[in-house]
Structure 1
Amino acid sequence: MSGTSTGRLYGVGLGPGDPSLMTVRAVEVIAEADVIAYHSARHGRSIARSIAARHIRPDHIEEALVYPVTTETTDHPGGYRGALEEFYEEAAARLAVHLDAGRTVAVLAEGDPLFYGSYMHMHKRLADRYPTEVVPGVTSVSGAAARLGVPLVEAEEVLTILPGTLPEEELTARLASTDAAVVMKLGRTFPKVRRALERSGRLNEARYVERATMEGERTGALAEVAADSVPYFSVAVLPSRIGATAPEPPVDAVPGRGEVVVVGTGPAGPLWLTPESKGALAGADDLVGYTTYLDRVPVRAGQRRHGSDNRVESERAEFALELARRGRRVAVVSGGDPGVFAMATAVLEAAALPEYAEVPVRVLPGVTAANAAAAAAGAPLGHDYATISLSDRLKPWEVVAERLRAAAGADLVLALYNPGSRSRTWQVGKARELLLEHRAPDTPVVVARDVGGPEQSVRVVRLAELEPGEVDMRTLLLVGSSQTRTVRRGDGTTVAWTPRRYPEAP
């Protein structure tokens, strides 16, 4: 900061629009200021000034900072961004003249000065040069929630604030994965925001607030709002889901509501979930799954959780479909990718029964254990590979052995699922014997255990030295081809990869 002879800069938050929602401190600062500055469009009207009008005196020096453009159409050589940057520099220079003359400058800002506010552009250019104070204000988010009269977030819920100017895909992903949300900057972005809400399955929850706390305020269900009637000063609100879950439906079916979504949670916790999967889990009335996988999903008020043993997949699938037939929104929780040795097959098989023919079923992909293990080890699946389960619980070992020989003979990298358990201890040793008939003893094998979990362990060993006793159900094996390579890195780790270019045949 410079010496005390300069003036003081204030960023003054005015709240969402109702002058009575200005803070006492905001009123005090305006009263003490020599210069009142505010942004406005080219028509000259300033919402910020109108909110504070009763506190602006005739002896105040007023600085109207008029935007040169209000849309992204401009002939400025630097484009829209260039025009704004030039404007902010010129506006800051105008305010600096007053500050250098020892005058106190109050820059008015709707809502909060540092929350999507124009003041922040002055702050970044002046706050390091002059004594500065920011007076916080009630945000439009808080104002909108208050006018709707609904809780915005409760307990451990997450609130996401989004500008409607984001790409539609980004909006959709973020709306699907969060609990509560507010989308700002509607106006021309409204059609895109509405599509994103619909694609994320959240449209029926969405509320609309226009000019919260101001004259001309309008609230209602967003789905009923006409796109051509939406101004810039409006927001979309997805309020708290707690207490909003639908009550238990009657035994008779509720047409069009019930569905089953099979959700892949990836190999471990929330970091491996896709936004779409997060949204499906959050929006479900019931969660059905193997208890170990259900434990990965956060507990939500109003949701029912139905855990079961890992060996009752068919029963679990029919139970989920029956709930959906009664009108419940059901998420079947599956580890990894639900279509890879997991629950999607069981659900679709049960859904083929005549009594469930009308129940909607969706499958959401997840990160597979093979891909997660490969990433942790480097890129051993960089070329053609085969995925085989070593479990002989659902198919004879003879079939497993035949497929191992065929894949090994074709020189494919192998991803071996379900290699062993407390009741299956010999399969890994037998698989090693079969593979050594086709692979060199020093073929790299990635032994990946609990990938993504707290006990993650990823090692690369020689095929001849693969120890069956170190393999359990939480382990996945990646057996290299004749082309798979390894290198020891500077940090002491061994990285494996399979080149994409295959040697030419002799």
Structure 2
Amino acid sequence: MSTQQTGRLYGVGLGPGDPSLMTVRAVQVIAEADVVAYHSARHGRSIARSIAAEHIREDHIEERLMYPLTVETTDHPGGYRGALDDFYEEASARLAAHLDAGRTVAVLAEGDPLFYGSYQHMHKRLAHRYPTEVIPGVTSVSAAAARLGEPLCEAEEILTIIPGTLPEEELTARLASTDSAVVMKLGRTFPTVRRALERAGRLDEARYVERATMAGERTAELADVDPESVPYFSVAVLPSRIDAVAEVREQGDVVVVGTGPAGPLWLTPETRGALAAADDLVGYTTYLDRVPVRPGQLRHGSDNKVEAERAEFALDLARRGRRVAVVSGGDPGVFAMATAVLEAASQDRYKDVPVRVLPGLTAANAAAARAGAPLGHDYATLSLSDRLKPWEVIAERLRAAASADLVLALYNPGSRSRTWQVGKARDLLLEHRSGATPVVLGRDVGGDAESVRIVTLADLDPSEVDMRTILIVGSSQTRLVRRGDGRQIVWTPRRYPEN
């Protein structure tokens, strides 16, 4: 910063549109400023100036920062972004000239200056060079919630602010996974936002607010809004789900969801949405504990050995009009609850209950990623548990997969009551592949007690394996490499040598 006396830069938040919602500090700063700057469209009108109009004096120096374009088409060599960057550089240079002359500059901004506002482009170019103060303002998000008269978020709910300019798939994922949301920048994006809300199963909850606190204000159910009538200054709102009036249904549905191998970091957006939308959660208590508690949502935990009863209980709830999420670890279709639910749903009395299965990250994928890429080529997935199938079948399948030189992902390798299967499987596999074959032992992957180790097949110790461990046994092509940092990684080439 120069040692000479310079002016001071202010980013002044004006609030959502009603001049009476300007803060006392905003009014004070405008009154004391030498220069009042504001952005405007090419037609010359400025919403920011109109909000602050009664506080602008005749002797104020006004700097109208007029955008060079209004749509994303331009012949600028840098494209739309290049044209805007040039504009912001020129605008900030104009303001810098006033600041260098010792003048105080107040840049007006609708809403809050640093919330999707044009002022932020001036701030990034000038704030490190001149004394600067940002005056916060009431955002359109707060104004929309106030006009709807509904809580935006409560307790532990998560609020997500989303620009409507995102691709439809990304919008859908964000809307499905959050509790409450506000989608900004509607206008021409409205049809895409509406489709995303519908795909996320949230359209019935969505509210529409146009020009909150301004002339021409409108609120409505979003599903009822004509896309041709939607201006840029409008938002879509998903209010708090807490205390929402429960939908009365003659029949509900069941969705079987996978929580991945551990906690929330492993959930997909679709799964998050299904868990949040459920009236009832049904599952093994250990897996239910991974799901955040939500007010008004009922949880039905049970032991891990009553899968059939759990499935029928969930389907009975759905027949009574409840929306039920059956919670499973990992992927529900891999040695988990999807099979039990679908088997029960195949009975005549449940045949009309809608059932969906949502995928989750498997334990095999999680452990493989931690170790490197051992599943990079063909592999087989087997369960070593003989609770639901005889050991002779397991042994036959192990021999077949081993003789085919497949990488093996072995689930349910051992428990307090099953201590011999791992040793038997190791000895059987040593008949078909080298004792130097890498074996990944992934325990509690993603959890607090995570442990991922790599041993050789010959050194595999059954006493180190329990029910929370998954084994990945390499093929003849699997490689074990020590990296420069000392870390060992395992990977299986995608090419297989020709005979």
TM normalised by structure 2 equals: 0.98
Query: What is the SS of the residue equivalent to 2:458?
Result: helix
Note the alpha carbon deviations across 1:322-374, whole angstroms, 9 max, x for none.
11121111111000001100011111111111222221111111110111111
Out of 320, 337, 348, the position equivalent to 1:326 is: 320
Q: What amino acid does structure 2 have at the position aligned with 1:120? A: Q
In the alignment, structure 2 segments of 5+ residues that lack a partner are none
Q: CA separation in 2, counterparts of 1:113 and 1:136?
A: 7
**Displacement after TM superposition at 1:175 (Å):** 1.0
Query: What is the SS of the residue equivalent to 2:214?
Result: coil
Q: Could you say which residue in structure 1 is the equivalent of 2:263?
A: 269
Q: CA separation in 2, counterparts of 1:326 and 1:66?
A: 60
Q: CA separation in 2, counterparts of 1:218 and 1:492?
A: 63
Q: What amino acid does structure 2 have at the position aligned with 1:501? A: R
Query: What is the SS of the residue equivalent to 2:192?
Result: helix
Query: What is the SS of the residue equivalent to 1:75?
Result: coil
**Displacement after TM superposition at 1:490 (Å):** 3.2
Q: CA separation in 2, counterparts of 1:299 and 1:4?
A: 58
Out of 380, 404, 408, the position equivalent to 2:374 is: 380
User: Does the 8 Å CA contact 1:158/1:178 hold for their aligned counterparts?
Assistant: yes
Q: What amino acid does structure 1 have at the position aligned with 2:43? A: H
Q: CA separation in 2, counterparts of 1:492 and 1:71?
A: 53
User: Does the 8 Å CA contact 1:245/1:303 hold for their aligned counterparts?
Assistant: no
**Displacement after TM superposition at 1:375 (Å):** 0.8
Q: What amino acid does structure 1 have at the position aligned with 2:87? A: F
Question: Does residue 317 of structure 1 match 2:303?
Answer: no
**Displacement after TM superposition at 1:417 (Å):** 0.5
**Displacement after TM superposition at 1:493 (Å):** 2.7
Question: Does residue 199 of structure 1 match 2:199?
Answer: yes
Q: Could you say which residue in structure 2 is the equivalent of 1:295?
A: 289
Q: Could you say which residue in structure 2 is the equivalent of 1:360?
A: 354
Question: Does residue 254 of structure 1 match 2:245?
Answer: no
Question: Does residue 8 of structure 1 match 2:14?
Answer: no
Residues 436-445 or 470-479, more deviating: 436-445
Question: Does residue 342 of structure 1 match 2:336?
Answer: yes
Out of 438, 443, 448, the position equivalent to 1:449 is: 443
Query: What is the SS of the residue equivalent to 1:37?
Result: strand
User: Structure 1 pair 487/245, CA: closer, same or farther in 2 (3 Å)?
Assistant: farther
Note the alpha carbon deviations across 1:147-190, whole angstroms, 9 max, x for none.
11111111111111111111111111111111111110000000
User: Does the 8 Å CA contact 1:245/1:302 hold for their aligned counterparts?
Assistant: no
Q: CA separation in 1, counterparts of 2:346 and 2:320?
A: 17
In the alignment, structure 1 segments of 5+ residues that lack a partner are none
Note the alpha carbon deviations across 1:434-461, whole angstroms, 9 max, x for none.
1111111221111111111111111111
**Displacement after TM superposition at 1:245 (Å):** 5.8
- Matched ranges for 1:74-223 at <5 A: 74-223=74-223
Q: CA separation in 2, counterparts of 1:493 and 1:456?
A: 16
Q: What amino acid does structure 2 have at the position aligned with 1:419? A: P
User: Does the 8 Å CA contact 1:380/1:413 hold for their aligned counterparts?
Assistant: yes
**Displacement after TM superposition at 1:4 (Å):** 5.5
**Displacement after TM superposition at 1:429 (Å):** 1.1
- Matched ranges for 1:411-422 at <5 A: 411-422=405-416
Q: What amino acid does structure 2 have at the position aligned with 1:354? A: D
**Displacement after TM superposition at 1:418 (Å):** 0.5
Q: CA separation in 1, counterparts of 2:396 and 2:148?
A: 64
Q: Could you say which residue in structure 2 is the equivalent of 1:49?
A: 49
Q: Could you say which residue in structure 1 is the equivalent of 2:433?
A: 439
Q: CA separation in 2, counterparts of 1:67 and 1:329?
A: 50
User: Does the 8 Å CA contact 1:245/1:285 hold for their aligned counterparts?
Assistant: no
Residues 405-414 or 238-247, more deviating: 238-247
Query: What is the SS of the residue equivalent to 1:16?
Result: coil
Question: Does residue 396 of structure 1 match 2:393?
Answer: no
Residues 273-282 or 489-498, more deviating: 489-498
Q: CA separation in 1, counterparts of 2:105 and 2:306?
A: 71
Residues 111-120 or 432-441, more deviating: 432-441
Q: CA separation in 1, counterparts of 2:486 and 2:106?
A: 58
Q: What amino acid does structure 1 have at the position aligned with 2:493? A: P
**Displacement after TM superposition at 1:259 (Å):** 1.3
**Displacement after TM superposition at 1:301 (Å):** 0.6
Q: CA separation in 1, counterparts of 2:10 and 2:373?
A: 55
Question: Does residue 459 of structure 1 match 2:418?
Answer: no
Q: What amino acid does structure 1 have at the position aligned with 2:489? A: V
Q: CA separation in 1, counterparts of 2:128 and 2:449?
A: 48
State the identity %.
Answer: 83
Q: What amino acid does structure 2 have at the position aligned with 1:30? A: I
Q: CA separation in 2, counterparts of 1:442 and 1:461?
A: 9
Note the alpha carbon deviations across 1:403-439, whole angstroms, 9 max, x for none.
0111111111111100111111111111112111111
Q: CA separation in 1, counterparts of 2:352 and 2:241?
A: 28
Question: Does residue 410 of structure 1 match 2:411?
Answer: no
Question: Does residue 305 of structure 1 match 2:299?
Answer: yes
User: Does the 8 Å CA contact 1:260/1:361 hold for their aligned counterparts?
Assistant: yes
Question: Does residue 28 of structure 1 match 2:20?
Answer: no
Q: CA separation in 1, counterparts of 2:378 and 2:125?
A: 55
**Displacement after TM superposition at 1:488 (Å):** 2.1
Q: What amino acid does structure 1 have at the position aligned with 2:439? A: V
How many residue pairs get matched? Answer: 499
